[in-house]
Structure 1
Amino acid sequence: MNFTLGKKLGTATKPPCEDTGGQDKGEEPDTTETAYEVDGISPKIAIAIGDTPKTATFFAAYSGSKLPPEVQKLIDGH
């Protein structure tokens, strides 16, 4: 998926990975990275998070079974 970053929004906190279902409770701390707007999409729907614009990852927040139309359009490449 291709997306263009907008301005910096601030800092996002990422909790440690819990892919083991809590079996390996280590001392891994939360991490912080920069949050960016995604052009054409409200930050209430999606943002990008990463140490740099080149490494930013797209994150969408929604409830229900369907993606917001703006996100689906981006995924479809329109």
Structure 2
Amino acid sequence: MKASPTRVHHAPARALLAATLLSLSAGCTGASPDAEARPQASCAYVIEYDSRTYLGREETDVPVGESLGSATRPACDDTPGDGDDGEGRALMTAFAVKGVDPAVAIAVAEDPGAYRLVVADTVTELPPELRKVTDGS
């Protein structure tokens, strides 16, 4: 008896799905039994200003210009359930970076006299005026 042409064999598809789910679940487990006991900090340095999102860079010695107003660092709890509430929302002051459009990058005051460079998350390659500030990096 011939198999019906409309009959579909699902066994290979089910096996593929099972293998995929197994590999995904294995990727979510810790490398050691105590891996969860040692949470890793992973909060990105994110700033929100003027309806834009900026990502932090290492540079702290940047030429700042005029104050642009308030910026916000959103709250972050990168290790929920560890008994620590994480970092709360922080208000800070945004400053222009001399010679750079604020839509590209700004500086935020972390401490009096200390400014951190943050670059808009839409920027894929630093423009020349910003590379001058970051020593080409």
1:60/1:71 contact within 8 Å kept? no
Residue 9 in structure 1 maps to residue 68 in structure 2 = yes
Matches within 5 A, 1:1-78: 1=59, 2-20=61-79, 22=80, 24=82, 26=85, 28-51=87-110, 54-63=113-122, 65-76=124-135
Partner of 2:37: none
1:27 to partner: Cα distance: 6.5
- Unaligned runs of at least 5 residues, structure 1: none
Say if 2:68 and 2:94, in contact at 8 Å, map to a contact too. Answer: yes
Post-superposition Cα deviations, 1:24-56, rounded to whole Å, max 9, x if no partner, equal 472743110111001000111110111555111
Q: Pick closer, same or farther for the CA change 1:65–1:37 going to 2, 3 Å.
A: closer
How far does residue 76 in structure 1 lie from its aligned partner after superposition?
2.1
3-state secondary structure, aligned to 1:26: coil
Query: Where does structure 2 lack aligned partners over 5 or more consecutive residues?
Result: 1-58
Residue identity (%): 37
Indicate how the Cα distance of structure 1 residues 23 and 74 shifts in structure 2: closer, same or farther if over 3 A, else same.
Answer: farther
Task: Report the alpha carbon displacement of residue 18 of structure 1 after superposing the two structures with TM.
Answer: 3.9
CA positional deviation for 1:73: 2.5
- Structure 2 vs 1, CA of residues 55 and 33 (structure 1 numbering), >3 Å: closer, same or farther? same
Q: Contact 1:49 / 1:56 at 8 angstroms: preserved in 2?
A: yes
The code of the aligned residue for 1:29 comes to G
How far off its partner does 1:71 sit? 1.8
AA partner of residue 115 (structure 2) = A
**Paired positions, count:** 76
Q: Which amino acid aligns with 1:58?
A: L
SS in 1 for 2:96: strand
Tell me which amino acid in the other structure corresponds to 1:68. Answer: P
Give the structure with higher Rg (CA): 2
TM-score by length of 1: 0.71
Q: Which has the higher helix share?
A: 2
> What is the root-mean-square deviation of aligned Cα atoms in Å?
2.6
